[in-house]
Amino acid sequence: MRITVMGTGYVGLVTGTCLADLGNDVQCFDIDQEKIKRIEHGDIPIYEPGLNALIERNVKTGRLSFSSDMKSSVAYGDIIFIAVGTPSMEDGSADTRQVLQAAKSIGSLMTNFKVIVNKSTVPIGMADIVKETVTSELNLRFKDDLSGRPEFSVISNPEFLKEGSAVDDFMRPDRIVLGIESTESGNKAREMIRKLYAPFNRNHERTFVMNVRSAEFTKYAANAMLATRISFMNELANLAERVGADIDSVRQGIGSDPRIGYSFLYSGTGYGGSCFPKDVQALQYTANSHGLPLRILSAVESVNQRQKHVIAEKITAYFENDLSGLTFAVWGLAFKPNTDDMREAPSRVLIKELLTRGAKVIAHDPVALNAAKDAFKEDLEDQPELLNRLTLSEHAIEILKGADALILLTEWKEYKSPDFGYIKNSLKNAIIFDGRNLYDPEVMREAGFTYEGIGRRSTHDVTGNFSKVISNSSKAVV
């Protein structure tokens, strides 16, 4: 089949490349001509494991191409995916201007039947607005003879890709959600889109067909549920420290219940990235606009913002509220491993706070250094002098030398089994603040470290007063 994908961001590049790899002819469009030129020369704007090789392979076979020519791109595909950005506005609503511009362009240029697929994460009801926009453009073009107006159908096909495993998620989906209207054009679109996704349904049916608004709602509901689990565990983790419990043991205890499961039960420094924060806000905005505020999601967001400060509080408590002149080594900047995405990353909150309190920071991340440089310039735009105390390094081990403590913020594989002897000898103080609970507290203590995790029994309490940890957890002093 011939496919056009509008947008060469995260979703657009993954969608277009994977569909090409399945044997379709795909053209990815972007209005940014320079971006298209860079992609054509192998300069991929995002980091996603396996994506570069997949793009290169399908460009060589001729199944995947790139264009900044809107007219040819609209003409190219029988199915057009809209996969442009929908960032958050100040009021929490989704910015849908790029979606509407894409719809307007399609309506002003299409000459034959098109299936228009909303792949972008859009507010509930957006498919209707896209349909109205395309229809309006067609009516202007064919006002003298509406009988010659080409037909089209707008369907909702939300993405469920996880950064860091997006290629695998696309190629091995656990579900394909399709929102399709029950009309003649909708039925035609249903057959075309089912044919496109047929390779994923050979072993068993993964496709869920529903009405359009249900499909749009499903995307928001899924991310809101996952965000809720994260905030729920983070709030319990903070309580676990106070009562002498270990949140990782609690996680195993409740995760073994099949009604709960283990996924997204890890406590840490809060969620980030491009999806959870904006989707939770957008769903709240929709609910408020209908007079039904979602109190649980309001709490989820509040807990998440609060959680991003927990490690900073532990650090300032340990050093008795004076960080002036101290140097902190930070491992991990991206909001999660296997991505260079710095959007809403907890590292941005922590590092800004350390710098503001007079500390120096030397940070490492395997792939996010360039994105981090831009992110911290943005965060410190009003205090540019603080950037002089921030160093971004390509060498994880070297930044330990002479640092007053090690802070772990992203659970990259290369951080999982380090040489703890070398770490201890390199640091001024054998202190690790583990924002992802990557290390075993007992192993750390036996190795001579002062260790602070999230929701784990520590060698001192949240006020900085040191306590003796008794092996019997029921007698632990916290």
- Tell me the catalytic residues: 275
Half-sphere exposure in the Cβ direction for 396 (13 Å, CA): 21
Give the position of tokens 């319990």.
Answer: 236
Max CA pair span of the chain = 85
Give the CA distances from residue 375 to residues 92, 369, 387, in Å, rounded to whole numbers and listed in that order: 21, 10, 11
- For residue 194, what is the enclosing H or E element? helix 184-197
Distance CA 219, CA 124 (A): 10
What is the DSSP secondary-structure string of 283-319?
HHHHHHHTT---HHHHHHHHHHHHHTTHHHHHHHHHT
Three-class SS of residue 161?
coil
Give the CA distances from residue 444 to residues 18, 50, 433, 438, 468, in Å, rounded to whole numbers and listed in that order: 43, 35, 11, 11, 15
Distance CA 50, CA 61 (A): 17
Quote the Cα angle for 262-264-268, to 5°.
120
Give the CA distances from residue 417 to residues 25, 388, 440, in Å, rounded to whole numbers and listed in that order: 44, 31, 11
What is the DSSP secondary-structure string of 31-70?
S-HHHHHHHHTT--SS--TTHHHHHHHHHHHTSEEEE--H
Give the CA distances from residue 42 to residues 14, 15, 37, 46, 59, in Å, rounded to whole numbers and listed in that order: 15, 17, 9, 11, 10
Contact between residue 127 and residue 212 where contact means Cβ atoms under 8 Å apart:
yes
Half-sphere exposure in the Cβ direction for 204 (13 Å, CA): 4
Give the CA distances from residue 343 to residues 45, 98, 114, 162, in Å, rounded to whole numbers and listed in that order: 15, 19, 34, 14
Give the other-Cβ count within 10 Å of 308's Cβ. Answer: 23
**Phi, psi of 357, rounded to the nearest 5 degrees:** -85, 5
